[in-house]
Structure 1
Amino acid sequence: MERWCKVVVVDDSAFMRLVITRMLGEDPEIEVVGTASNGIEAIEIVKTLRPSVVTLDVEMPEMDGLTTLERIMKECPTPVVMVSALTKEGSEVTLKALQLGAVDFIAKPSGSISLDFHKVRDELILKVKAAAQAKPRPLLTLLPTIRRPITVPFSVKDWATIVIAASTGGPAAVRYVLSQLPYDLPAAILLVQHMPIGFTKFFADNLNQVSNLPVREAQDAEEIQPGKVYLAPAGFHLLVERVNRLRLDSSPPLHNVRPAADKTFESAAHVFRGKCIGVVMTGMGSDGAIGLLTVRELGGRTMVQSPETCVLPSMPESALKLNAAEESVPLELLPKRITEVVYEVIGSSRSTNVSSLR
């Protein structure tokens, strides 16, 4: 079998370079063509070898991971998978890296030098091979957040529920969408982003810095309210109960992920019916496709991020194959289209202010 996936491994630890190189080399389709111990070396090796993917340590001397990533994306754009410690600082830097163009990340289970890195071997191989097929996207400009108290009273009859699903490439794309939605959008948003345990709290905080709607990790038995964004915590499926409450469910993973968007879509569709709006965005795999079809079959509205604007198009393509999506919308137009559909769904006589969307 041809080793089509060429990888450069960058880590300041000789031990971690050896471990990552051996693990990747065990896959018959992956070849590690070079290694580097710091960012300066990495940039030169990437320019010379032109690999399919770079695995990049977050914490390095001489030139840190973020600076190295920025240089790679500017001088020799290449899909990058960040390798990060499960710490507050590591999580925050990793999220910044995803905003700067990294395709995905792997969490070191036990710090900078993880003797138990074998625990994430399968995830590492899967994400590296997926990254090799990714399409690096230009960075989108985010405008200043407008966080104001909602002045228009909501009633049970005049708001909708939006369910958004994303995976690989999702953090940056979701960040853009939330930054562009109006602060008085008459909708609640349930967000499912595939992430390992330990990262979703920091992701919610990160989104909260740019979103015009407040973002938080969802809590068990919490009442769903319009004007808020509820992020599914890693390790739990996010379900909707019939009394418009959220439930965190620890049943087995679906599609090898927990949270799984299919479960959120299906439960929300049965509760909100015609006032449910489903959106499947960039990502690897097929999660969300079946659930989005349920939303459509029960009278809700459905759309996907157009595959050509995705870092990885597998999730929206899976939904399109099932005829689950009514429309395919480029990332740059998603906030505007989501807002239009919200007002179509609730049949509001109020102005949508779509022309003033930022």
Structure 2
Amino acid sequence: MPKVLVVDDSALMRRLVSNVLSSAGYDVDTARNGAEGIERVTDWQPDVVTLDVNMPEMDGITALSLIMQARPTPVIMLSSLTEQGARVTFEALALGAVDYIPKPGGTISLSVDDVADQLLHKVRAASRAKLRYRPVPNDGPLPAASARAPARPAVAPQARVGKPEGLVLIGVSTGGPRTLEDILPALPASFPWPVLVAQHMPANFTTAFARRMDSLCALRVRECSQPLPLEAGHIYIAQGGTDMVVSEYLGRLTVKPRAETPGHPWHPSVDVMVDSALQHLPAAQLIGVQLTGMGNDGARAMAALKRGGGRTIAESERSAVVFGMPQELIAADGATLVLDSHAVARQLLLWAPAKH
């Protein structure tokens, strides 16, 4: 079994996380702070590291940056569910962390049974993940939301009142935030189709995620926390803890959050989002994009989209942090094209040309 290093300043936390991993057969070692963690990464060479965000002396972000310089290793961040915790988590993902585990109430100790399955699932995925490390200069600024490059138009382009010409439907999980930063900022403000994103993510994190992406993209990025009209020039991020569905109101297409759909293990659900879009637009007016992630969410619905005359993209094994979700779409003969993540935006512009 892979070796896992648990880095946390709390002795109770180290013991609880270690017990979950040891019981599953993992070889586990611990470190009491970031500096000790960096030393153990170099000496013990673990396959995966779990790293607390908030630690005295050296915080998790600094430790992560130094780990990635000393010996790049798949890292899972342990983060609070606060807005500040979410922002720091996205900084960590931009630096190269593979995934994160939210700590309800700021600590995992009172609900370790609730997160044990999630911890094991994410450690298993991280042990197979490919790193997407973004080096930063020594003493340089941490990656953060940058200034928006292209200016936004005063009025977003819209083909006609009522229904857009088409929709782009993106499904993504582990490794998604960093991968989406390769794709969404590359779409110009004139991109003519609304873009819907179902990123597997818990409640309280998608608000910060949408704000971060909004600061990076020429398109406007909104969290789908209430019914919203589908408009060109916009990206809609499904709200954590819900499923995002396409619906129709007074002759106009909208997106809205809905309670998590029973029978679907991952949320926000990609399958549910794509199924709902197929109920309101012909498959030929839809583009499905299946990106990095573990599991098979989205494969069934996107394969049906392709069979109905729509077009789909599966991220390549070469660029995917975790190849599970795109691999399932390819295996179902549901991929029109298989592309590296950096080529996805270019293909979307070929299929739905921006209007000037």
Identity of aligned residues (%): 38
- Which among 325, 340, 344 is matched to residue 330 of structure 1? 340
Extract unaligned runs of 5+ from structure 1: 352-358
Contact 1:201–1:233 (CA<8 Å) still a contact in 2?
A: yes
Describe the shift of the 1:114–1:158 C-alpha distance in structure 2 as closer, same or farther (beyond 3 A). closer
Counterparts of 1:275-314 in structure 2, within 5 Å, are 275-314=285-324
Cross-structure match for 2:3:
6
Q: Does 1:16 align with 2:20?
A: no
2: CA distance between counterparts of 1:36 and 1:25? 16
Report the Cα offset of residue 66 of structure 1.
0.6
Q: Deviations over 1:233-266 (max 9, x none)?
A: 0111111114412232214344411211011112
Query: 2:269 is matched by which residue type in structure 1?
Result: A
Cross-structure match for 1:264:
273
- Which among 104, 107, 118 is matched to residue 113 of structure 2? 118
Cross-structure match for 2:140:
none
Report the Cα offset of residue 55 of structure 1.
0.2
Alignment partner of 1:286: what SS?
A: coil
1: CA distance between counterparts of 2:56 and 2:224? 37
1: CA distance between counterparts of 2:82 and 2:331? 39
Query: 2:5 is matched by which residue type in structure 1?
Result: V
Contact 2:157–2:232 (CA<8 Å) still a contact in 1?
A: no
Extract unaligned runs of 5+ from structure 2: 136-142
Describe the shift of the 1:275–1:150 C-alpha distance in structure 2 as closer, same or farther (beyond 3 A). farther
How many residue pairs end up in the alignment?
Answer: 341
Counterparts of 1:172-191 in structure 2, within 5 Å, are 172-191=178-197
Q: Does 1:148 align with 2:148?
A: no
Contact 2:94–2:178 (CA<8 Å) still a contact in 1?
A: yes
Deviates more, 1:218-227 or 1:155-164: 155-164
Q: Deviations over 1:177-232 (max 9, x none)?
A: 11111111001011100011211111101111101111111144321111101111
Query: 1:312 is matched by which residue type in structure 2?
Result: V
Contact 1:8–1:55 (CA<8 Å) still a contact in 2?
A: yes
2: CA distance between counterparts of 1:63 and 1:92? 18
Q: Deviations over 1:275-308 (max 9, x none)?
A: 1111000111111101111221222211111121
Query: 2:150 is matched by which residue type in structure 1?
Result: I
Contact 1:219–1:246 (CA<8 Å) still a contact in 2?
A: no
Alignment partner of 1:252: what SS?
A: coil
Report the Cα offset of residue 138 of structure 1.
3.8
Q: Normalising by structure 2, report the TM-score.
A: 0.91
Report the Cα offset of residue 46 of structure 1.
0.6
Q: Does 1:199 align with 2:199?
A: no
1: CA distance between counterparts of 2:66 and 2:302? 39
Q: Deviations over 1:86-144 (max 9, x none)?
A: 11211110111011110000011121463223221110111011100101124399885
Deviates more, 1:215-224 or 1:54-63: 215-224
Counterparts of 1:78-227 in structure 2, within 5 Å, are 78-112=73-107, 114-139=109-134, 144-149=148-153, 153-156=157-160, 159-227=165-233
Q: Does 1:342 align with 2:346?
A: no
Describe the shift of the 1:15–1:266 C-alpha distance in structure 2 as closer, same or farther (beyond 3 A). same
Alignment partner of 2:194: what SS?
A: strand
Query: 2:22 is matched by which residue type in structure 1?
Result: G
Alignment partner of 2:118: what SS?
A: helix
Contact 1:11–1:56 (CA<8 Å) still a contact in 2?
A: yes
Query: 1:37 is matched by which residue type in structure 2?
Result: R
Describe the shift of the 1:245–1:8 C-alpha distance in structure 2 as closer, same or farther (beyond 3 A). same
Cross-structure match for 1:249:
258
Contact 2:53–2:59 (CA<8 Å) still a contact in 1?
A: yes
Q: Deviations over 1:147-193 (max 9, x none)?
A: 32156742237732101110000001112211111111001011100
Alignment partner of 2:218: what SS?
A: coil
- Following TM superposition, the consecutive aligned residue runs of length 4 or more in structure 1 with deviations greater than 4 angstroms are 140-144, 150-153
Query: 1:218 is matched by which residue type in structure 2?
Result: C
Report the Cα offset of residue 52 of structure 1.
0.9
